[in-house]
Amino acid sequence: MRLNLRKKHKDKIAKRGEQFFMDNFSLKVKATNVVGSGDGVEVYVHCDDHDIVFNASIPFDKSIIDSDSSLRSEDKGDDMSTLVGTVLSGFEYRAQKEKYDNLYKFFKDNEKKYQYTGFTKEAINKTQNSGYENEYFYITTIPYNLTEYRDYFEPLINKSDSEFSKELSNVKKQLKDKSKVSVTTTLFSKKRTILKK
């Protein structure tokens, strides 16, 4: 049933996933994969809108196929907060783009020297849902609820790059957010043998 549901309605389900992110986060995303999940499906998406870059996924049950209604969500606790945190990692990337691009360049420049590799872009887009992620690392931020996102973060989307960074910092101060952003690397060794010391 799951496989038939996914195959038969893949395009419509993908469009509903894209609509979900527009309705809830005011961001354009592109569906990259639709997979069976329990009694429903999970839509993986990639966002690169207003220089806000992230990968995420949203599960749907089969009732989503026949519905054309808005997918604007009410804040439903932990699941939505986790998704808001995923989206906000893309905000963090935009605010600190030069810093993260330099870190990416460091990993790329040292790949041959230290014989490692990371995920492929295709693997990231089709299977990862942790927010901003590139071949070598991903960013995680503190999750907020959907109401806080709409009130504080969504108005930043159309700001210029210089305003965006400053305003994001101001929003975090308003929300008394003293958390640190986490950067996690995912590197795979290309060496055939591992030396033990």
Spatial contact of 140 and 130, defined as CB atoms under 8 Å apart: yes
pTM of this structure: 0.89
Convert the pLDDT of each residue in 18-40 to its tens digit: 999 999 999 999 999 999 877 78
Convert the pLDDT of each residue in 42-70 to its tens digit: 999 999 999 999 999 998 887 776 676 66
Rounded Cα distance, 22 and 77, in Å: 20
Any domain includes 197:
no
Any domain includes 124:
yes
Question: Using N-to-C axis directions, what is the helix angle for 161-174 and 78-95, rounded to 10°?
Answer: 140
CA–centroid distance for 144 within its chain: 14
Rounded Cα distance, 143 and 146, in Å: 9
Instruction: Provide the domain count of the chain.
Output: 1
Range of the domain at 49: 2-189
Rounded Cα distance, 29 and 15, in Å: 10
What does each of the 197 residues of the chain score in pLDDT, given as a tens digit?
445 555 678 899 999 999 999 999 999 999 999 998 777 889 999 999 999 999 999 988 877 766 766 677 765 666 788 999 999 999 999 999 999 999 999 999 999 999 999 999 999 999 999 999 999 999 999 889 999 999 999 999 999 999 999 999 999 999 999 999 999 999 999 987 766 66
Rounded Cα distance, 139 and 13, in Å: 27
Any domain includes 165:
yes
Sheet with 52-61, side-by-side order of all strands: 29-37, 40-49, 52-61
Any domain includes 67:
yes
**Three-class DSSP category at 58:** strand
Any domain includes 196:
no
Determine the residue type at 191: K
Two tokens, residue 7: 């195959």
